[in-house]
Amino acid sequence: MRELFVETRTAVGEDGRLHSFDYYVVIGEMEVGGRFACESYGVKVAEQGGDTAVIPNITVSISRIDALVDRMLRNTVGPASARDVVWTTGSDPGVHRPVCEEDFRHKRGRGAERTGVPPASSDC
């Protein structure tokens, strides 16, 4: 798995201290249909001097991972909440995707509300 550094963001936490987070796109391979593999993208959020969260295989779309990372940057998502903005789907625990606004509205009514990052476009 490769990592592509994106940016560092610093914010004041609830504890009143400054926290700096490094954001990365992680690049790996995801098996598709048991016979093929394609390049997949995930995210890594690392607090300088603290915790790190790595979430691989979120999508095979460059534009979708770019939109997700952009929203994570704008909201200064830290490692502790990084997984909260990604929803595990299917039976494979290693496959993730960003929460779609449509999915979010649908699931809210059934008590499965999650804090999510809506996509940049409606084509989740």
99 domain-assigned: yes
Q: Does residue 75 fall inside a structural domain?
A: yes
Domain assignment of residue 121, yes or no: no
Q: Is residue 81 part of a domain?
A: yes
- For the record, the structure tokens of 103 come out as 């999915």
Q: Residue 75 has which token pair?
A: 């909201």
Q: What's the domain range around 89?
A: 2-108
**DSSP state string for 30-98:** EEETTTEEEEEEEEEEEETTS-EEEEEEEES-HHHHHHHHHHHHHTT--HHHHGGGEEE-SS-TT-EEE
As for how many domains the chain has, the answer is: 1
The pLDDT score that the predictor gives to residue 23 is: 98
Residue 66 in this model has a pLDDT that exceeds 90: yes
- Does residue 118 lie in a domain region? no
> How far is the C-alpha of 23 from the C-alpha of 46, rounded, in Å?
7
Pick 53 or 88 by higher pLDDT: 53
Q: pLDDT digits over 68-110, tens only?
A: 999 999 999 999 989 888 764 333 444 444 444 334 333 333 3
pLDDT at 33: 79
Is 123 a domain residue? no
Does the pTM exceed 0.85? no
For residue 25, give the nearest of 37, 7, 47 by alpha carbon: 7
What's the pLDDT tens digit per position in 22-52? 999 999 998 877 888 899 999 999 999 999 9
Inside any domain, residue 114: no
Rounded to whole angstroms, what are the CA distances from 20 to 16, 45, 56, 76? Answer: 13, 10, 22, 9
Does residue 124 form part of some domain?
no
